[in-house]
Amino acid sequence: MRIRSVEPLELSDPGAERSSPWSSTIVLVRVTTDTGAVGWGQSPTTAMTVPVRESVREVARFYEGRPLEEMNRAFDEYSVSAFYRSRSVEQTAALSGVDIACYDLLGHELGVPIHRLLGGRRRDRLRAYANGWYSDCRAPEEFAAKAKRMVRGGFTALKFDPFGDQYGQLSNPGLALASERVRAVREAVGPRVDLLIECHGRFFPEPAIRAGLELDQYAPAFIEEPTQPELSDGLREFRRKVRTPVALGERLLTPADFQSFLARGLVDILQPDLTNSGGFTFGLQIAGVAAGFGAQIAYHNAFGPVQTAATLQLDAVLPTFFIQESFESSWPAWKRTLVRGYELADGHFLVPDRPGLGIEVNESAVEAARSDEMEPKGTEPPWVIGGTWAPRGRGDARPGATSNRPGGRARAKGVR
């Protein structure tokens, strides 16, 4: 079986459904063999859709024409040729998507799910946490009401970003409002539901520590990316002063990156993203690094159903699995039509047992969503949940208060 073609497929909402920019486009990778067999992968976007899509075409040259069983050689040859791969998420994202698709093909060829290729699953059900559920929430009571709804749906863990438009610095009113939001959610869902605090890598070290110390009282299960990624050395002091465990990893690209953060004592819980950190090939190595340090893994998983299906396969075999991120309940409708084959029920994913990724891709829906556009540009950053980045002076630092963030922001029109 030889690889005949590697195609990047950019998809966006065919019905112009409003969604957060990060949810508005995805890049799938379709690998086809000379026998007509098809494997699927996915690469992340987030304001780099076109560069990732074109990088897949570069990676394709190393795979096309080769036997499927030489996919490791192709992976290595591209890694050597891509001089900036260790620091280029466009290159690692493209390589990851192709690697995932090749594993999907291999599983289909052998008639087994990928988790059997990786040594066999350790678990059949995977505890999930909900993300994306707090779209358009501003007031603490709005966060509380939506949190209750997610818990009624079966989730026992919720992740959310309470910081609104605070960035870099953190004003006292901004911190007070973030604390009120977290308090409201904690009181709404009770002590048995895990709260996971998302910072999106937004703060300088000192305001990050202030935020961590304030939110410690609500006993979060972790706080994610409290400092800006280029200021990661500040995490050492953060971990010394703040009780809440630190989680990060969606912006780390190689097994060596994860080893470095663990060895320097900068992180408690790893959050690799299978679609930008080398797919299954590096995924196994990162899992080994985590196991060597006794670090738990909670995979980042924000972009789409092929990514979810791939991540579940690796989750099933991880020796230090912690919890799995889920956006399924918050996706725009068009994403839900792309794939079937995995199930989220009562706050848990069930591990698929069909060959490869265990899914069936709806190619008609894929074709209907084909696009060559960049993500829509709004006045909210593309990484926030829609409607949570307050226009300057309108409320995330309370009415009349001055945010420490320079520059104004206005709510995006036509983007949620």
> The domain that contains 77 carries what CATH number?
3.30.390.10
- Cα–Cα distance measured from residue 199 to residue 193, given in angstroms and rounded to the nearest whole number: 19
Provide Rg for the chain, Cα atoms: 21
Residues (pLDDT < 70) of the chain are 14-22, 391-416
The HSE-up count of residue 249 (CA atoms within 13 Å, CB side) is 33
- Cα–Cα distance measured from residue 97 to residue 8, given in angstroms and rounded to the nearest whole number: 9
The answer as to whether 55 is a domain residue is: yes
The answer as to whether 222 is a domain residue is: yes
Find out whether 296 and 262 touch, Cβ atoms under 8 Å.
no
Instruction: Please indicate, yes or no, whether residues 48 and 134 belong to a single structural domain of this protein.
Output: no
**Structural domains of the chain, count:** 2
**Closest alpha carbon to 344 in 127, 159, 192, 149:** 127
pLDDT value of residue 224:
98
Instruction: Please indicate, yes or no, whether residues 279 and 159 belong to a single structural domain of this protein.
Output: yes
Instruction: Please indicate, yes or no, whether residues 207 and 191 belong to a single structural domain of this protein.
Output: yes
Instruction: Please indicate, yes or no, whether residues 93 and 139 belong to a single structural domain of this protein.
Output: no
The answer as to whether 397 is a domain residue is: no
The answer as to whether 319 is a domain residue is: yes
**Beta-bridge mates of residue 146:** none
Instruction: Please indicate, yes or no, whether residues 120 and 83 belong to a single structural domain of this protein.
Output: no
Residue 319 neighbours by CB distance under 10 Å: 12
Residue 259 neighbours by CB distance under 10 Å: 18
Instruction: Please indicate, yes or no, whether residues 103 and 223 belong to a single structural domain of this protein.
Output: no
CATH code for the domain in which residue 135 is found = 3.20.20.120
SS3 assignment for 17-48: CCCCHHHCEEEEEEEEECCCCEEEEEECCCCC
Find out whether 340 and 366 touch, Cβ atoms under 8 Å.
no
Instruction: For CA atoms 100, 376, 158, 180, give the dihedral sign.
Output: positive
Instruction: Please indicate, yes or no, whether residues 277 and 173 belong to a single structural domain of this protein.
Output: yes
Q: How is 355-369 classified by DSSP, letter by letter?
A: SBTS-EE-HHHHHHT
Instruction: Please indicate, yes or no, whether residues 107 and 124 belong to a single structural domain of this protein.
Output: no
* Torsions phi, psi for 100 (to 5 deg): -60, -45
Alpha helix segments (H runs only) across 153-278 = 172-189, 205-215, 235-241, 255-263
Instruction: Please indicate, yes or no, whether residues 283 and 223 belong to a single structural domain of this protein.
Output: yes
Extended beta strands in 289-383, E state: 296-297, 324-326, 339-340, 343-345, 348-350, 360-361
The answer as to whether 378 is a domain residue is: no
Q: How far, CA to CA in Å, does 209 sit from each of 215, 264, 405?
A: 10, 18, 17
**Beta-bridge mates of residue 8:** 29
> Per residue in 7-27, is it b (16+ CB within 10 Å) or e — as a string?
ebbbbbbeeeebbbbbbbbbb
The answer as to whether 401 is a domain residue is: no
Q: How far, CA to CA in Å, does 186 sit from each of 218, 237, 291, 316?
A: 7, 26, 31, 30
Residue 142 neighbours by CB distance under 10 Å: 15
Hey, which residues are catalytic here? 200, 300
Q: Which helix (H) or strand (E) holds 28?
A: strand 25-33
pLDDT value of residue 48:
86
Find out whether 204 and 228 touch, Cβ atoms under 8 Å.
yes
Instruction: Please indicate, yes or no, whether residues 48 and 130 belong to a single structural domain of this protein.
Output: no
The answer as to whether 377 is a domain residue is: no
> Is the pTM above the cut of 0.85?
yes
The answer as to whether 125 is a domain residue is: yes
Last residue of a domain, one of 318, 337, 357: 357
Instruction: Please indicate, yes or no, whether residues 37 and 54 belong to a single structural domain of this protein.
Output: yes
Residue 148, C-beta contacts closer than 8 angstroms, at least 6 positions apart = 188, 189
Instruction: Please indicate, yes or no, whether residues 196 and 253 belong to a single structural domain of this protein.
Output: yes
Range of the domain at 74: 3-113
Q: Which helix (H) or strand (E) holds 148?
A: helix 140-152
Residue 345, C-beta contacts closer than 8 angstroms, at least 6 positions apart = 154
Last residue of a domain, one of 113, 131, 146: 113
pLDDT value of residue 396:
61
Last residue of a domain, one of 337, 357, 377: 357
